[in-house]
Amino acid sequence: MISIHNEPQPTDLGDVRVANRAVVLRHVRRHAPCSRADIAARTGLNKATVSSLVGELIDQRLIRETGLTENRVGRPATMLMLDGAPYAALGLQIGADELVAVAIDLAGNRLLTWRRAFTAGTVSPAETLRALAALARRAIGRVGAQGRTVLGLTVGVPGLVDPTGAVPLATALGWRDVSLAAELRAALREPDFAVGVDTVANLAALAEQRHGGYADGADLVHLTGGTTIGAGVIADGRLLRGGRGFAGQIGHLCLDPSGPACDCGTRGCLSALVGLPAVVRRLLPDAEADGPVTDYLPELARIVTLARRDDPAVRAGLTEIGRHLGQGVAVLVDLLNPEVVLLGDHLGTLAPWLLPAARSTLAARAHAPGAGGCQLAASTLDTAAALGGATAALATVEAGRPPTR
């Protein structure tokens, strides 16, 4: 197989320092507690460079000395770890029936996870924006009260997000052309940290890559549940975005031209067959007796209870939904050849009953023998997109560019 480098970039000593700072930070994140000598030995950087970079990172309060020493031949080595205290990064997520806020420190430890019931699909974008800004302000206030500087905030949206952080289309929310990043920045009075927007699927994939059960996989997909199914794709270690940032749209893949109608105007899409409203409609025919469902959590809990009790109709329905899911995953697997596809949200909750049929359909449908080595599993992450949003907000610092304040 050929590795081709199409875009060599000129490098200078400043770039080298930034890159090496990122290498040291990453090593400490993954191997703490560790000493300066460990870093030099494991990264191949020379000891003087490591000492100088570590000194800078300590000054910037990105890493700290633990107070522990390790006894070796020669001088005892002072151990280092990421400094969890001075900074926080925030992630928000617009879910099918809730808003979520997550804050993490530099080491990825969760500082808060808040879920607020909110059905964005039934209200105006402006109302959702107000609720989102209120939640963000509370979270900023909370981490501020802990003496932390906010490094950045990223919001996950179930829809298309363009490079400016605007949302041209989000069928699950009924949105068209919402300038979310700009409006949220204004609502937060132009804060001095970056406010970004990305798809829930992309952010969940970043969270998987950093914190999930298959972390550091170079080729993974996170499938988001909720109203529309989305794919967050890590390909060769990087998020796959496409030319305008619209990659990962698997929700409207047609699986059954005679299937149920979809919000998008066609029939039998993956979302119309395995999305949360479709699943509730299919498995709980009485759920809409008193009008449209707006709060899906109790309905999902009912489905789980019925599945656990071996309710035959629910189990048969879940098997059928699992087959549709396997069909959709087979298309992803043929095109992207990931090492693992992780099921998030309600697909993760229902995974024990979806996976057997989904896996056998995947094996039968994928072109490469053994589905090209791809595993299909439930995500182990809670509120993955919000966690990914907070993770994404750390990117600049992790790339070796320290906070400027």
Q: Verify cis geometry, omega within 30 degrees of 0, for the bond prior to 8.
A: no
Contacts of 293 (CB under 8 A, 6+ apart): 277, 280, 287, 299
Does the footprint of a copy of itself cover residue 14 (CB under 8 A)? Answer: no
144 and 150 in contact (C-beta within 8 Å)?
Answer: yes
Does the footprint of a copy of itself cover residue 145 (CB under 8 A)? Answer: no
Which residue's CB is nearer to a copy of itself, number 103 or number 350?
Answer: 103
Query: Where in 23-42 is the site for a copy of itself (CB under 8 A)?
Result: 23, 26
- Helix or strand (DSSP H, E) at 231: strand 230-235
Choose which of 123, 131, 188, 240 interacts with a copy of itself (CB under 8 A). Answer: 240
Among candidate residues 210, 188, 96, the one with its CA nearest the CA of residue 134: 188
Query: Tokens 């041209």 — which residue?
Result: 168
Among candidate residues 181, 187, 94, 103, the one with its CA nearest the CA of residue 139: 103
Task: Provide the minimum distance between the beta carbon of 231 and a copy of itself in the complex, in angstroms, as a whole number.
Answer: 7
Choose which of 33, 108, 356, 372 interacts with a copy of itself (CB under 8 A). Answer: 372
Does the footprint of a copy of itself cover residue 22 (CB under 8 A)? Answer: yes
Choose which of 37, 123, 131, 235 interacts with a copy of itself (CB under 8 A). Answer: 235
Q: In this structure, which amino acid lies at residue 391? A: T
- Which of these segments, 111-119, 138-146, 157-165, 346-354, binds a copy of itself (CB under 8 A)? 157-165
Does the footprint of a copy of itself cover residue 212 (CB under 8 A)? Answer: no
Task: Provide the minimum distance between the beta carbon of 39 and a copy of itself in the complex, in angstroms, as a whole number.
Answer: 10
Choose which of 95, 277, 338, 348 interacts with a copy of itself (CB under 8 A). Answer: 338
Distance CA 377, CA 222 (A): 10
24 and 45 in contact (C-beta within 8 Å)?
Answer: yes
Which residue's CB is nearer to a copy of itself, number 245 or number 350?
Answer: 245
Task: Provide the minimum distance between the beta carbon of 250 and a copy of itself in the complex, in angstroms, as a whole number.
Answer: 6
How long a stretch of residues is the chain?
405
Helices 276-283, 296-308: inter-axial angle, 10-degree rounding = 50
Which residue's CB is nearer to a copy of itself, number 203 or number 279?
Answer: 203
Among candidate residues 87, 172, 186, the one with its CA nearest the CA of residue 132: 186
Does the footprint of a copy of itself cover residue 403 (CB under 8 A)? Answer: no
Choose which of 107, 131, 187, 253 interacts with a copy of itself (CB under 8 A). Answer: 253
Task: Provide the minimum distance between the beta carbon of 30 and a copy of itself in the complex, in angstroms, as a whole number.
Answer: 11
Choose which of 110, 116, 142, 252 interacts with a copy of itself (CB under 8 A). Answer: 252
239 and 133 in contact (C-beta within 8 Å)?
Answer: no
Helices 36-43, 13-31: inter-axial angle, 10-degree rounding = 110
- Which of these segments, 139-147, 248-256, 278-286, 302-310, binds a copy of itself (CB under 8 A)? 248-256
Q: Pairing relation of β-strands 220-224 and 340-343?
A: parallel
Does the footprint of a copy of itself cover residue 339 (CB under 8 A)? Answer: yes
228 and 171 in contact (C-beta within 8 Å)?
Answer: yes
What percent helix, strand, coil does the chain show, rounded to 5?
45, 20, 35
Distance CA 32, CA 36 (A): 11
Does the footprint of a copy of itself cover residue 2 (CB under 8 A)? Answer: yes
Which residue's CB is nearer to a copy of itself, number 17 or number 315?
Answer: 17
Query: Where in 172-211 is the site for a copy of itself (CB under 8 A)?
Result: 196-198, 206, 209-210
Q: In this structure, which amino acid lies at residue 215? A: A
- Count of residues binding a copy of itself (CB under 8 A)? 85
Q: Which residues pair with 65 in a beta bridge?
A: 80
Does the footprint of a copy of itself cover residue 373 (CB under 8 A)? Answer: yes
Query: Where in 66-125 is the site for a copy of itself (CB under 8 A)?
Result: none
Choose which of 325, 374, 381, 384 interacts with a copy of itself (CB under 8 A). Answer: 374
Which residue's CB is nearer to a copy of itself, number 213 or number 285?
Answer: 213
Helices (H), 60-124: none
Does the footprint of a copy of itself cover residue 392 (CB under 8 A)? Answer: yes
Which residue's CB is nearer to a copy of itself, number 238 or number 309?
Answer: 238
